[in-house]
Every structure is written in C-alpha cells, then in structure tokens.
Amino acid sequence: MIGNMISRIRKEKGITKTELANQTGINIGHLTHIEKGERNPSHKALKAICLALDIPYQQLLYTYDKTLSDEQLEYGYIDYVQYNKVPAISKIDGYINCPADFSDASFAYKVPDSSMAPLIKEGAYAFVEINGLIENRAIGLFKLNDDYLIRRLIYKNDKFVLRADNKDFKDITINSRDLFQIIGRIYI
C-alpha cells in the first residue's frame, strides 16, 4: 500500500520519478520497485521521499507493510486514504489501556451513537488504526461530509456502502458529491 500511496502523491503533485529520484538520492529503479509494491522503502528512504513530496512522514508510515486487495484496488480505496492530514482533537478524555492484540491502534474513539450495537455500544471506546486497511465488511472510522461514522465498509456495485449493524440505521451509499475519507480500521 505504501508504494501505491507514494505513486498517487507523486502524480498528484506533478513530480516525475526522475525528479523524485534526484531530490531523494534514491535510484529511479528502486523507486519504481517501491511504487509497484515490490519493495518497501527503508525508514530513511521513506523520510527522504516524504520530505521531497512535502508530506508528513508518520501518515505514510501507517501504510507500511500493508497490501491492498484486488477488490480494494478495483474500488479505488487508495483515493480515500489521507496522507497529509492528521486527526484534530479538541478534547482528550484521558488515557485508557490498549489491549496487546490491538497493538496497531493509534487512538481510542468514543462511540457517539448506537449504530454498531450490540457489537459496539454507544459510549464505549473503539480502537482506531489510522490508515489501517479495511477489508470488505470490516468496521472502520470514516468522515462523510461533516460527520464521523463507525460503520462496516461494503464494496457493492462499484460503490462504497457504509452499513450499521443496528438495523434502525440506514445504509449510506457514497457518491461522487460526498466528501468521503477513510480514517482507519476499528479494533473491537
């Protein structure tokens, strides 16, 4: 996934591989292998790439050693992963213990509603891995327009659908007018 992200960002910024190679001192052949997902960059190389692309290092580090499925590639999953933004937190409730089996969790998010009940109760904390891959039917934290939602991500008919476990909440089909962002995977 990290190679896909580097390629996406480089193209969005209008930088050629040759320019990136010159700015980072990384061989163009090695950059090609990285972008194709055949190799992961060293942390030193990743820092140099991030500096050259003018993006935060940590956001890309979250995508390290993750592989997109064919389904995720087909649905354009990578286009909704943030690489230059971090969550803005206006209040910290404190610290809570993070179970060892959730070692990739970046933060805990207080569940604002009963949409995922009974699996995740309103007011409980869900552990979020920023930029964590969300497989079909897995649970994630998303930003949809101005709302933050915990839902299952469904790949359906060339679109993403956000589905609540609680049947009182309707499915949300993401369309091209929506401002949709994948924040991360939820551990429960």
pLDDT digit string, tens, across residues 53-104: 999 988 888 888 888 999 999 899 989 998 888 888 888 889 999 999 998 9
| Whether residue 54 is found in the same domain as residue 119 | no
- Going from the C-alpha of 125 to that of each of 48, 86, 128, the distances in angstroms are 36, 19, 9
Residues 57, 127 within the same domain: no
Residue 76 lies in a domain: no
Q: Are residues 39 and 104 part of one domain? A: no
Residues 131, 61 share a domain = no
- Number of structural domains the chain divides into: 2
Say what percent of the chain tops pLDDT 90. 77
In a domain, 80, yes or no: no
Q: What is the SS3 assignment for 129?
A: strand
Rounded CA-CA distance 72/108 in Å is 25
If pLDDT is split at 50, 70 and 90, which confidence band does 188 have? confident
Here the tokens at position 54 are: 């003018």
| pLDDT the model gives residue 93 | 87
| CATH code for the domain of 167 | 2.10.109.10
Domain membership of residue 25 (yes or no) is yes
Q: How many CB atoms lie within 10 A of CB 113?
A: 14
pLDDT in the model for residue 92: 87
Asked if residue 10 is part of any domain, the answer here is yes
149: phi then psi, degrees, rounded to nearest 5: -130, 140
Question: Based on the domain organization, do 121 and 177 belong to the same domain?
Answer: yes
111 & 178 share domain = yes
- 37 shares its domain with 113: no
Q: Enumerate the H helices of 37-187 as residue ranges.
A: 43-53, 57-61, 70-74
On whether residue 87 sits in a domain, the answer given is: no
As a dihedral over the C-alpha atoms of residue 92, residue 179, residue 184, residue 188, rounded to 10 degrees, the angle is 80
Residue 16 corresponds to which amino acid?
Answer: T
CATH number of the domain that residue 42 is part of: 1.10.260.40
pLDDT score of 118 more than 90 = yes
More confident residue, 65 or 105: 105
* Residue 172 belongs to domain spanning: 100-187
Tell me the pLDDT tens digit for each residue of 129-166: 999 899 999 999 999 999 999 999 999 888 999 999 99
- Position 50 in a domain: yes
Average of per-residue pLDDT across 161-176: 96
Tell me if 91 is assigned to some domain. no
Percent of the chain with pLDDT over 70: 100
The pLDDT mean for the chain works out to 93
Indicate the burial class of 116 (C-beta count within 10 angstroms; 0-12, 13-18, 19 or more): buried
